[in-house]
Chain A
């Protein structure tokens, strides 16, 4: 049976068909749906781990035990998990172990554009790159056999376009495999220097064998067309190259991009007139070809920045601009924004007028950096708000500057990697204030469970980690819990923070406006145009439901409004009424 699946859904299907029994991840666009689609299979234990390092270690532990396992994450998630990943190349595995990295060329929903193909080379771990959903599924199977045959982790690299686009997949049945026997083997699994030095040598021996495998594997194959142009490519770039050049070129399609098949590459290059490398982001393949002494075109024709598409490839090869329709008016920008009724909005509104530095984090609340709220100074990576803020505060203190520092972080991100930063603040006598925006869910990636929500990925009830108690246990005594939708409470807590020299945590709590299982406001707010003074203060909330109509009256769109009442609370003329 054939079904139209996204690459992520196909990876999940592969995990099922090829006998994986343990899978772990932390949600991150574009990788999130892999675990979401594994979760319904009863045959597979699947969890949201608090962060990617934990996820990778859980899956690695399961592989050591003898089970086939998988850990999935977005590209920057692999930075978090890099520490155990590098050493897993030394220990090898027992049951198969697959690390999925979903890179985000074009930064659709990411803070950087790193090309994780270099991680494979850096960590000396074989890497496979599927180019459509069918391959996403099949390559899970290939990765499983490589992992078990060569005793190594295998990286499966997807990109946003592979993860999120749909193409047809032929479904198969599950291969039930029993666990490999586990035996204690400290020389293999305990990487004290004495053991690691032996493993280091074995790692190089394994790479030699993998290189031979890469030469012969059908994962790397030639598709002959016109031999004037020879294109070497991998992943989604293969599809763009084929789309644009059709049979007017020959292709070396690389499905295994580490280790690379040098002999096959040389053979292909020798049979075509000119060699072109079509790859997204970095010149990973091009550098390798040049090191082999092969003359080729690559980044001189195909940009190094951003996501590719057929138009860009056509411009690179054929030098032609597409014919488009020209219009004389321009659309206004439509930037992403916090949803109507979002509980983060009031906190940023309260912060926006304060003389303070606000360090931010990764989540929906990163949008608090945008106009009109503009209440954020930094955003680096998961968890960085807390430790960044501590650094700001220590620098101010040491240099005699009296300036308050706030850090804002979501509940899920706090569990991910904010906790260690908070411990640092408490232990090293910092006095910044951390605001945990607790909306009871991992919202930005589309509502995944986290240790605060009380449910596992499989939907089983579990306990809810208590944020206030965690903060207390870390040594923070001044902890205030407020309702995010009650501006008076929020402002009182922020004022307390402005005036204290203690380290402080404000837990601003209200459910994500899209979260169905929690009680939501159920009203509609309305502006009385006779009372409204047109001051525009309510517009400063940046709520998508409030806008100026053609007659210049400020109105509230009743379809979008959920009656959170923040606009009513900020209105100084009592012009807004909310009916329940």
Chain B
């Protein structure tokens, strides 16, 4: 039970959390772990809060976890990181994309997008923070920001010795393969 690791990917619908989770789970399965994964999303196709839970180890029972038990969280968006912070273990690690996407109540002026999220989170837990959209744009495609974040996670949980390049190559369209592999390596570097 204690050897099982739990990881959360949280973000906003449309950011590519699902693809990142798929790459991660494929790599873990190929490495011989028992793996369970659960996507948790609400009604909307785009723009709602989404999270994916991935658990791996010798034998995994529950596909989901409770608060205070995640070993690592990757927040694809600042406010979503804040929303899920209580799922993190007190000594857990958080990778945060320095990116803000206002939600509907914020857009129509019913709520404020909170300031100082990254400072607050960094004062409480170990964090790796960077602007993944910026990094992805420098590679040439905003869409690879999910793989940049995935690369950082892989470094954080110490699994960089698995065959990630091969897995990424199989999971993304051939013409985006090189960009995604570059994104993965950028992510590794940023978390080092």
> Interface on A for B, CB 8 Å cutoff?
2, 4, 108-109, 132, 161, 164-168, 236, 239-240, 242-243, 246, 309-312, 314, 322-340, 364, 366-367, 370-372, 443-444, 446, 514, 536, 539-540, 542, 544, 546-548, 559
| Chain B residues positioned under 8 Å from A539 (CB to CB) | 107-109
The number of residues on chain B lying at the interface, defined by a beta carbon within 8 Å of a beta carbon of chain A, is: 61
A236→B36 CA distance, assembly (Å): 13
Q: How far is the CB of B162 from chain A (nearest CB, A)?
A: 15
Among the interface residues B46, B49, B90, B117, which one has the most CB atoms of the partner chain A within 10 A? B46
Asked if A108 contacts B67 (CB within 8 A), the reply is: no
In the complex, per-residue mask of B43-85: 1 if CB is within 8 Å of any chain A CB, else 0: 1111111000000000011111111110000000001101101
Residues of B within 8 A of A548 (CB): 107, 109
Residues on the B chain within 8 Å of A2, using CB = 29
Question: Which of A246, A338, A536 is in CB contact (< 8 Å) with B44?
Answer: A338
When chains A and B are docked, how far (Å) is the Cα of A99 from the Cα of B45?
Answer: 28
In whole angstroms, what is the CA distance A109 to B41 when docked?
A: 9
Which one of A161, A312, A322, A547 lies within 8 Å of B102 (CB-CB)? A547
Contacts beyond the supplied A166-B25, A334-B103: 7 A-B pairs with Cβ under 8 Å: A240-B62, A311-B69, A331-B114, A335-B48, A367-B44, A539-B107, A559-B142
* A540 in contact with B114 (CB, 8 Å): no
> Which 8 pairs show the lowest CB-CB distances between chains A and B?
A311-B66, A336-B44, A322-B68, A165-B63, A334-B103, A165-B38, A547-B107, A332-B111
Flag if B112 contacts A332 (CB, 8 Å): yes
| Max count, chain B CB within 10 A of own CB: residue among A239, A325, A339 | A325
Is the CB of B178 closer than 8 A to any CB of chain A? no
- Report yes or no: B69 in contact with A330, Cβ–Cβ below 8 A: no
In contact, B107 and A239 (Cβ under 8 angstroms):
no
Q: Is B157 an interface residue (CB 8 A)?
A: no
Which residues on the A side are within 8 Å of B109 (C-beta)? 536, 539, 548
Chain B residues closer than 8 Å to A333, beta-carbon distance: 103, 105, 111
Residues of B within 8 Å of A446, CB to CB, are 45
Contact of A339 with B62 at beta-carbon distance under 8 Å, contacts A324-B86, A544-B104 already known: no
Check: B116 CB closer than 8 A to any chain A CB.
yes
**In the assembled complex, which residues on chain A have CB atoms less than 8 Å from the CB atom of B63?**
132, 161, 165-167, 236, 239
A165-B63, A311-B69, A332-B112 known; A444 vs B43 contact (CB < 8 Å): yes
Most chain A beta-carbon contacts within 10 A, residue among B49, B63, B80, B109:
B63
Contacts of A366 in B (CB 8 A): 43
